[in-house]
Amino acid sequence: MRGQDALPGHRSRPLMPNMLARYDLVLCMEDEHVQQALALNPVACGKVRLLGHWSGQQIFDPIGRAQRVYADALDQIENCAAQWAQKLTDMEMIR
């Protein structure tokens, strides 16, 4: 099961300043999202990163685009999330 089928109760919601204060790492899909997050809370600059940081890529938001664009974005998200999981595991930040 992938995508929205994997998280049936999940709905996106706007990023709020308190979320940036609460979490140790905030991953954004594209540079614009990083800039928006930092505008909400500039102190969070040390924990806001691109999801595609390790591969040097941005994942452009597929909102309003064709289903294939959503599927491509999901592939990128899964790949980049796996890279983050591996890096965090290697740094012994997660087990």
Q: Does any domain span residue 44?
A: yes
Whether the CB-CB separation of 31 and 56 falls below 8 Å is answered with: no
One-letter amino acid for residue 50 of the chain? L
CATH of the domain at 42: 3.40.50.2300
pLDDT (0 to 100) of residue 58: 96
Q: Does any domain span residue 9?
A: no
Number of domains into which the chain is organized: 1
Tens digits of per-residue pLDDT, 14-64? 999 999 999 999 999 999 999 999 999 999 999 999 999 999 999 999 989
**72 is in which domain, residue-wise?**
15-90
Q: Does any domain span residue 1?
A: no
Q: Does any domain span residue 48?
A: yes
Q: Does any domain span residue 5?
A: no
Q: Does any domain span residue 10?
A: no
Torsion sign (Cα): 43, 46, 47, 51: positive
